[in-house]
Amino acid sequence: EKLRNELEHGLKELQYSIPSWVENEDVEQLKRHLPLLETFSERFEFTASTFESCKNQLSAILQERQHQLLARFTEMTKNISLWNPLDIKELNKFRKFLEKIEV
């Protein structure tokens, strides 16, 4: 029971960490914690609402972030023929970032 309470507390703390990971584009943290929530749910019978809330928040933030990035990417590439080589280099870095965020 004590372990369960500690883990539920940890999940609640995780909910508050997620927005800062998104703000800092910490994709690895976000992707690493989605399966972690699944594992917690399977091993310990958390209240469904705690788990679902964390999981849904994480998924929604990842999807929203991806939509924002894809919109920005589309906007950036409209006039690609007018870009200089340095901009194209930045574009390639951005494309790699987008590939990482896929869930």
Q: Give residue 78's identity as a one-letter amino acid code.
A: K
pLDDT tens for 8-46 read: 666 666 666 766 666 666 667 766 666 665 655 555 555
How far is the C-alpha of 7 from the C-alpha of 50, rounded, in Å?
Answer: 11
Q: How many structural domains are present in the chain?
A: 1
Give the Å distances, CA to CA, from 62 to 51, 70, 93: 17, 12, 19
pTM for the model: 0.33
Q: Give residue 30's identity as a one-letter amino acid code.
A: L
| Parent domain of 11 | 2-101
pLDDT at 90: 66
Exposed/middle/buried for residue 76 (C-beta within 10 Å: 0-12, 13-18, 19+): middle
pLDDT tens for 49-73 read: 555 666 677 677 777 777 776 677 6
